[in-house]
Amino acid sequence: MSAIGISGLSKTYRGGTRALDRVSLTVEAGEMVALIGASGSGKSTLIRHISGLVPADKNSGSCKIVVDGAIVQEGGRISRNIATARTDIGVIFQQFNLVPRLSVLNNVLAGLLGRMPVLRGVLGLFRKEESQLAMQALDRVGIAHTARQRASTLSGGQQQRAAIARTLVQGARVILADEPIASLDPASAKRVMGILSQINKEDGITVLVSLHQVEYARRYCKRTIAMRDGQVVFDGPSRELTTQFLRDIYGEASEELVLPDADDFGTEPMTATA
């Protein structure tokens, strides 16, 4: 079974911008796939559609998005069972989306809210084994020692690692990461990508990660989907994305996608504890 299936997805925003234009693609369970493209090419819009946050155009009648076997949206309508479908989808954003005044542990425990009775969740009545699960997740991403701190006291890289721990506690089978390293320094960015790669390999969690820099795609993802003006213009092995090929696809905008110091990128992927 595919982890993500998209057919005939188009999106025109109010004001007329056609952000997605007949996008169809499939991501198999257990893949880690990069989504690249210059600013405004439609990466965020695509991820927001897959997570069921935004409905596709209604007049693109045949559009359908399925994640882990559950219909997220069809024919421009979000599925009635979206709450159930979302329990399998972990979303990670560029700006971390933690609650700053809550402890790191409680932020991670929030990953359980979709799977527990509303009242217990609202009152924050988490069981001991749930807290243990959250501590294990924090340990996996290398920041168990920060569990009692307020989320606002963490560095950007640590906050992103807490956000990943939250998806682990959630039990997500598919992680959609929307530019998760765009606000991070290079060392933190490598660590975050290393953790995503690790949980992809060890837990078989499918990862779709949008990235600005193609070096990260080449290093961490076997497959890359490249977008331009709302369309998929490349879908294949990341190693085929040479600088020249990017120039052919994007012209001058390709400079946005290649790190100026690409040669210093290093050779070893970083892990959680590195």
Ligand X SMILES: Nc1ncnc2c1ncn2[C@@H]1O[C@H](COP(=O)(O)OP(=O)(O)OP(=O)(O)O)[C@@H](O)[C@H]1O
Residue 106 engages ligand X in binding (rule: CB under 6 A): no
Residue 242 engages ligand X in binding (rule: CB under 6 A): no
Residue 51 engages ligand X in binding (rule: CB under 6 A): no
Task: Indicate the Cα dihedral angle 85, 135, 92, 83, nearest 10°.
Answer: 20
Q: Which is nearer to ligand X, 12 or 136 (CB)?
A: 12
Q: Give the long-range contacts of residues 37-41, CB within 8 A, separation 24 or more.
A: 37/210, 37/226, 37/227, 37/228, 37/257, 38/228, 38/250, 38/253, 38/254, 38/256, 38/257, 39/212, 39/256, 41/227, 41/228, 41/229, 41/230
Among 3, 4, 9, 19, the residue binding ligand X under the rule CB under 6 A is: 19
Rounded to a whole number of angstroms, the minimum distance from the CB of residue 212 to ligand X is: 6
Among residues 236, 254, 227, 274, the alpha carbon closest in space to that of 44 is found at: 227
Residue 161 engages ligand X in binding (rule: CB under 6 A): no
Q: Which is nearer to ligand X, 45 or 200 (CB)?
A: 45
Rounded to a whole number of angstroms, the minimum distance from the CB of residue 136 to ligand X is: 33
Rounded to a whole number of angstroms, the minimum distance from the CB of residue 170 to ligand X is: 23
Among 3, 9, 27, 43, the residue binding ligand X under the rule CB under 6 A is: 43
Q: How far apart (Å, rounded) are the C-alpha atoms in residues 218 and 121?
A: 40
Q: How far apart (Å, rounded) are the C-alpha atoms in residues 131 and 52?
A: 28
- Give every strand in the sheet of 231-237, ordered side by side: 89-93, 174-178, 206-211, 32-36, 223-228, 231-237
Rounded to a whole number of angstroms, the minimum distance from the CB of residue 182 to ligand X is: 8
Q: Which is nearer to ligand X, 103 or 231 (CB)?
A: 231
Among 10, 44, 159, 224, the residue binding ligand X under the rule CB under 6 A is: 44
In contact, 244 and 34? CB cutoff 8 Å = no
Question: Stretches 34-42, 119-127, 141-149, 233-241: which one binds ligand X (CB under 6 A)?
Answer: 34-42
Among 41, 73, 87, 146, the residue binding ligand X under the rule CB under 6 A is: 41
Rounded to a whole number of angstroms, the minimum distance from the CB of residue 45 to ligand X is: 3
Question: Stretches 14-22, 23-31, 113-121, 194-202: which one binds ligand X (CB under 6 A)?
Answer: 14-22
Residue 39 engages ligand X in binding (rule: CB under 6 A): yes
Helices then strands, counting H and E runs in the chain, come out as: 9, 11
Question: Stretches 40-48, 113-121, 186-194, 260-268: which one binds ligand X (CB under 6 A)?
Answer: 40-48
Question: Stretches 9-17, 62-70, 112-120, 185-193: which one binds ligand X (CB under 6 A)?
Answer: 9-17
37: its two tokens: 């493209």
Q: Which is nearer to ligand X, 76 or 114 (CB)?
A: 76
Contacts of 226 (CB under 8 A, 6+ apart): 35, 36, 37, 232, 233, 234, 235, 241, 249
Applying CB under 6 A, the residues found at the interface with ligand X are 13, 15, 17, 19, 37, 39-45
